[in-house]
Structure 1
């Protein structure tokens, strides 16, 4: 499902118990310096990630200052975040003008909050220019924080260079059938550089049968509930997408690669290292 950019007025773009992706939650909050935003999400753990600007996050009696260091856009610096436990109130106070992503996943237990600073990011780069799959991933809540989080995975994905594909070879994660696959709902928010760039999100629900395709622009939100889902960016543009994954029965993601294209796993440098980071 594609949600075109709109002024959400601080209200969730993907709310709790969404009809398409009930395991994840997503909100965008825009604040001027000195403004604050309070929230609490029952039954969902969340992560506050400034897309731009710097904030202070207060939650569960803790205060995390100077979160975020990016200026003009998501390419201008490294991400940082704060993990907010399930059913726990949080206040975000803007120290500068800021745009904040709030990512969430359904999880019943209440854990302890913590901050993820730039030096604690889990980074991976894979693919190649030759295979048109060159990209880098910055895991905010990835394998490095596995024991401190319930079901939520949060990362930022960047194409390396202009143009190319992401999420290929095509994979899915819509059915709990370990050890082959896990059920993880997924949500993306896209940005392009320059911001008038665009791309395409494919969603093929059945192998070797025609699927859907969505024209994605700067600010597009995509919900992945079922099927194989590669995406691409037009030549001459860079693409970024903020990624939220919520697992049904476990946090670690087990992707099932589309049989038609699975042989190409061996042609893309570093792809298995990438897969291992979604833990």
Structure 2
């Protein structure tokens, strides 16, 4: 079995019960990171049992209400991941959450096994920092809704990335599979992909950072996911004419919740070229100030 077979989950291949995608730590073969994609019909509802994990309910399309114990968070959501940032809800471990949607929709449930039980909370869309990272054909947009320095979680780190057609993101290739204080953090990572129109695709590369490490090159389309237990990951390349979206979900064993990466030694120099190039004028695709749909 190749790493493509083990670590690339095609749309529908990891469906289970009410979930179009269901990746838990056991299925992934690691300890912390998880991701589910819940599809609700109009008027549909679902009960999420958090168990030993913390979760963020993130609308991919549509809106929903999330009831956690005695609180209800009304998520306005969005038309799609290509139209706006979205509000979201945090569900603590050992909780039960009722997710319901009048109009229906698709909702990512990003999770991480954790030890602390933090309070349930609402994340407003206008407070999501939108970052333009890289320049030239490395330009991409990062929606840092649950970055380590932005929104408090115990272990979970999650962001969205949008890459215009023809551009490269997750570049230069980088890794976070070892603990080196102040330099690199150990994080398991899931990439979940969507494209902005039917037939769209991208390519994603992971190369070994150690003997016998992860080695894959995959064409990715809407609904596909890639598991990254180790290795230099990147680039994620968007085919010309197709904007590529991915949701990154990360967690690891470190005492500090932080995203520290090490660039591939053959490619890290590319960062030094960015100040001499303009940001792709197609970006930002949208900002946090725009209303949700």
Settle same-fold status: TM greater than 0.5: yes
Q: What is the CA RMSD across the aligned residues, in angstroms? A: 2.1
- Whether the 8 Å CA contact 2:18–2:38 is kept in 1: the answer is yes
Structure 1 residue 60: Cα displacement: 3.1
Paired residue for 2:263?
257
Match of 2:3 in 1: none
Output aligned runs, 1:1-279, within 5 Å.
Answer: 1-6=7-12, 7-11=15-19, 13-65=22-74, 67-71=75-79, 73-129=80-136, 132-143=137-148, 145-146=150-151, 148-159=152-163, 161-206=164-209, 211-230=215-234, 231-249=236-254, 250-269=256-275
Structure 1 Cα separation of the partners of residues 168 and 210 of structure 2 = 19
SS class of match (2:171): coil
Cα distance, 1:154 vs structure 2: 1.5
Cα displacement (A) at 1:77 = 2.5
Cα distance, 1:210 vs. partner?
10
Q: CA deviation at 1:68?
A: 3.4
Quickly say closer, same or farther: Cα 1:107–1:210, change in 2 above 3 A. closer
Offset, 1:206: 2.9
Gaps of 5+ in 2: 1-6, 277-293
- Cα distance in 2 for partners of 1:156, 1:68 equals 18
Query: In structure 2, how many angstroms separate the alpha carbons of the residues matched to 1:239 and 1:173?
Result: 23
- TM-score normalized by structure 2? 0.84
Q: For this pair of structures, how many residues does the alignment match?
A: 264
Q: Structure 1 length as normaliser, TM-score? A: 0.88
Structure 1: runs of 5+ lacking an equivalent: 271-279
Q: Post-superposition shift, 1:269?
A: 4.4
Please tell me whether the aligned partners of residues 122 and 144 of structure 1 are also in contact (alpha carbons under 8 angstroms): no
Are the aligned partners of 2:193 and 2:221 in contact in 1 as well (CA < 8 Å)? Answer: yes
Q: Report Cα offsets for 1:121-153 as digits up to 9, x if no partner.
A: 021102223xx111011111124544x311111
